[in-house]
Structure 1
Amino acid sequence: MSPTKRKIGGAIFVWLFLLLDAEQLFHNLFL
């Protein structure tokens, strides 16, 4: 694994985590 690929993979993982987290926050706020 090249460092750039690992960085991109980590960024995607963080984004997925944030999106899922935001989705749960929206459910808590609006439902």
Structure 2
Amino acid sequence: MVTFVDSNKAEYGVEPICNEIWIAPSSYYEH
């Protein structure tokens, strides 16, 4: 999931992606 967010965060932002794939933004930021 982290790789997916990294690939798309510039276009969509971290939080909107996390909301769509049902993970907490804090879970992403831990990595």
**TM-score normalised to structure 2 length:** 0.30
Greater Rg, structure 1 or structure 2?
Answer: 1
Q: Greater RCO between the two (CA within 8 Å, min separation 6)?
A: 2
**TM-score normalised to structure 1 length:** 0.30
